Structure 1
Amino acid sequence: MPSAQAAETTPPDPGPAGSFAWKGFNWEKRFWGGAPQYNRLFDSANVSNPDANGHVTLKLTNPTGQAPVAAEFQSTRHGFGYGTYSTIVAKNLSILQKEVVWGCLFTYDPLAEPGYNEIDLCEASAWGGGAAYGESWPVSQGHGYWFDATKPPGQGNNTVNFDVTASPITTHRMVWEPGKLTFETFAGEGFAGTLLKRTVLQGATVPVPAKEQVHFNLWVTGGGGGDPAHVKPESVVVRDFSFVPAAAAPPPAPVSAIKLSATTTKAKGVNTTTLKWSGATGTSVTLWINGVQKTVPNTGAYVNKSKGGAATAYKVCDTAGCSSVLSVVT
């Protein structure tokens, strides 16, 4: 089955060996307890190995009927950074139980203060339903990130929520750039389906790369007035994951061999400045005179006539680079 996006080819760092290999990376099934599951119960058996189609299934179980057990898996690689993250998910979120949280693809570094470097591409929940507050919350999905995890939701994060649909399959994409995050969620498999939501978040609070890992999890929240102990089994199938790193920054322009010099000849009423440069290449060079651009033939010299009294700033550029600014008083 085609990927949502071409995966990183031979990743330079797939991460140490873990529970299984998938989509070019190594992954670890969570077996240890703790947050965010309200009763702190996780079981590695609730995450399947990739099946014949390359799909990974997360299961939320409740063996006793009153103590649900969560599922999570995470990359063993630390530090993905800027680039494009994509995933395809099989789950009708419109029937997600109100206490259940689908932690669809998110990056997370617990040691990156204060925001923990967490970016959530497609988290979905009704967060307990809101009955404890006399309200009725629908299941919604969110695009967002934490910029200060010491503050409560709505204060320490920047999130845009939107309604879920009954689409049995959704495709999600996130582009992480310096100071900018672009999220997209589509109905169906791939990017040809209906665009359900596009969110662009920008600003100084956008996380910067740290030692984040990629996570997927399925768990139960204890807040909002729901009945977390008695949730029924749920499952989500992750069909695909891909990561394409951002293109490397272009190398700096080469240092030009141009050397700029000027000779000023003073005559009555008119001062003449002759610019000379060495190392120029090509058929022409670009000359700046006090910030005004002019392209002149590559003769190695340029005569500029001006009346005296003010400093004139000159700079010349060719295909190899630019000279430093030369200031001449005529």
Structure 2
Amino acid sequence: MAKVRTQDLMNRFKIELIAGAEGVHREIFMSEVSRPGIELTGYFKYYPKDRLQLLGKTELSYFSELTQEEKKDRSDQLCTDITPGIVVTRDMEVPEELVEACERSGVPLMRSPYKTTRVISRITNFLEAKFAPFTAVHGVLVDVYGIGVLITGQSGVGKSETALELVKRGHRLVADDSVEIRQEDYDRLIGSSPPLIEHLLEIRGLGIINVMTLFGAGSVRSHKRISLVINLETWDQKKQYDRLGLEEETMKIIDVNIQKATLPVRPGRNLAVIIEVAAMNFRLKRMGVNAAEEFSQRLSKMIQSGEQEETDFETDLDID
């Protein structure tokens, strides 16, 4: 899991630091953000002190109506030794009692010019992306017609060469050799490249090439949602490969099952074109058009029609 500190939020969202500068390196351990409402009334039994705290217009309006002693008490209890920070939204004036409490405890006190709901949404999305389950897969990730295609297979089977042909045909490379994958939702996998090999492609016999330099900025992208897995394997004469496409195979990555297709590799097969067709066919299936099922239904109707004609013929013979 990636480490996120309060300083990272300040750099990412350009939040103004008001007080508690010595605590900007405090670590944030969860993506949930808290709005201390009932805590301002004095009830701190279930105060989530390890979360980032946000004070909006409602909270500060109530805070302004407290007595001087209550303001000091609430401010001191809000600022604990593990609170990663307090953010005041809408560029509102920060109460002096809260500033003093943050300075004493070392809790970073920040201010944002945006509305509370917008700040919560952006910070939560940022933290969820950082804390998302993570894994790395050996393969190549390419954006083909808007579909994130993860090409897998044994080393030397031709993954990078296929990706190069796809890039030449106008598609975009995301990652080669190692694909970093984060599960940003219960059914959403986002793939990206390690920074060290970003935009690079390794071709055996040729070496490492920079795809963006050779083919332009439109030939690469930084990340892409993975929707389809294409597994390349050496053609096995003894193995039966799917010829209709009725059976859908899946591959589980982290907690998500991704549709998978296995393509046998042998000389003469244009894998780039086949992967293009696989991506387009995947899009058609998502739109409700399944050629394999239509063929199966057509075949079933023909069989039923043939059986009916045979029954009618036998009935006619019996009558005669």
Superposition TM-score, scaled by structure 1 size: 0.18
- Higher relative contact order (CA closer than 8 Å, sequence separation 6+): 1
Q: Which has the higher strand share?
A: 1
Superposition TM-score, scaled by structure 2 size: 0.19
